Amino acid sequence: MSGMSAGRSAMRMGPAELVQAAAMARRFYLEGKSKIQIAEEFGVSRFKVARVLETALERDLVRIEIRVPAELDAERSDALRARYGLRHAVVVESPADAEETPDPENLGEVAADLLGELVNEGDVLGLAWGRSTIHMAAALDRLPPCTVVQLTGVYDAGTAERGSVEAVRRAAQVSGGDAHPIYAPMLLPDAATASALRNQTGIARAFEHFDKVTVACVSIGSWEPGISTVHDMLSDEERAHYASLGVAAEMSAHLFDAEGRRVGRDLGERCITVKADQLRSIPEVVAIAGGQRKGPAIDAVLRSGLVTSLVTDTSAADYLMTAGPAPKPALNRADPDGV
């Protein structure tokens, strides 16, 4: 074969080659057959099959498209997962009209689908108070049989039916498992009152499940009005005190500075909530938080090592991808305080 004819052969495939390549590609990509099986069917070597499949891609006989639902941003999700060393990161498109709104409601819908993947039969699912977790629970339509326990008290005991208690009941109803709600405020006036409540039968029963939780769902708050439950429950003097300690974020009544270190630990003595060490020992802790205003708070909590997975939006993700030096991988679950 002359050099010119060889060049023409390399530039195009004849009809027999095209038909064979299309058939092999159909077997491999659509029918799931192995290269060895295809080689046996066509009477060629598996190396020939590999070359044909490679050529089919180069000649556009086969086009591979990776598609996810339009609201999911796969590129940002993967980049965010890698940056923070998370097990899962799911980034959804921020609503066009919600630039200043924290935790868009669509985060809860996506988180509900994620929990449907993560929770297995026999697990113990823990839900902490937060608007995003309430939205998530409302969107649940599938969960395997599991026990559901409330991890924190509520923002206001008078709104329990519309908040965490109802979220726990909803999740248990969907899963068909037992529910262990907590009928108590998250923040009490003093440590003695909080201690007394923890010993009440119903609350103590919920607390007994904290060490058995296998999947937890939590919210994250910025240290500012309307975006942190704890911030809104404190007096002006108390807010100023914790602000002086450098608090940048709040999660389940635990406070964190910008580096992910816990501050204001005395506050926990007044709260009905899961302990930070208990959260750290839970295999899967999913945080639901988004919005540009929450970016610094999400970064702080991720640096704490307490969270393994995150559901957020593009506004927060864009901030997180440039938020200071890359943190330690979250899956190490290392405590930034070193204690």
Nearest to 135 by CA among 107, 174, 99, 94: 107
Same fold, 15-59 and 72-332: no
d(CA 251, CA 254): 5
DSSP tag of 162: G
Helix or strand (DSSP H, E) at 170: helix 164-175
What CATH class has 15-59? mainly alpha
Nearest to 304 by CA among 254, 246, 262, 267: 262
**pLDDT level of residue 106 (50, 70, 90 thresholds):** confident
What CATH class has 72-332? alpha beta
pLDDT tens digits, one per residue of 74-105: 889 999 999 999 999 999 988 766 556 666 77
Nearest to 322 by CA among 74, 70, 76, 94: 76
All structural domains of the chain with their residue ranges: 15-59, 72-332
CA distances from 39 to 45, 46, 129, 172, 272 (A): 5, 5, 58, 52, 65
pLDDT tens digits, one per residue of 9-64: 444 667 778 888 888 998 988 888 899 999 998 899 999 999 999 888 888 888 77
pLDDT tens digits, one per residue of 260-301: 999 999 998 999 999 999 999 999 999 999 988 899 999 999
d(CA 211, CA 252): 16
pLDDT of amino acid 213: 97
